[in-house]
Amino acid sequence: MSRLNRLAISEEGFIFDPETGNSFTVNKTGLFIINMLKEGKDVEDIVEALTEEFEVDREEAMRDVTDFLEQLRFMGLIDKTEDDNV
């Protein structure tokens, strides 16, 4: 199972990794992005969806997504395969 898919994610943005025991919190935007990643969406899809869902332009959305993915990589929540896909 991919790392993202094994995560237990609450509606409030509390995330628990059952393998490592680590927990994180994310804001509404982070939760939105994680859920899209779990659905297998790529960066383009996510940026598009963010501009539709939130009051944000494409450039800012792209920057936020890139930053957030970097955070997920840093925390070991995206493995190599997912990394390649996004």
Q: Distance (Å, rounded) from C-alpha 21 to C-alpha 48?
A: 33
Of the candidate residues 40, 44, 53, 76, the single one contacting another protein (CB under 8 A): 76
In sequence order, which residues have a C-beta less than 8 Å from that of residue 8 and are 6 or more positions away?
15, 16, 17, 18
- The number of beta carbons lying within 10 Å of the beta carbon of residue 7 is 19
**Which residue, 8 or 40, is less far from another protein as judged by CB?**
8
Does position 83 bind another protein by CB under 8 A? no
Q: Distance (Å, rounded) from C-alpha 86 to C-alpha 3?
A: 14
Min dist CB 16 to another protein, Å, is: 5
Does position 8 bind another protein by CB under 8 A? yes
Does position 24 bind another protein by CB under 8 A? no
**Contact footprint for another protein (CB under 8 A):** 8, 16, 18-21, 76
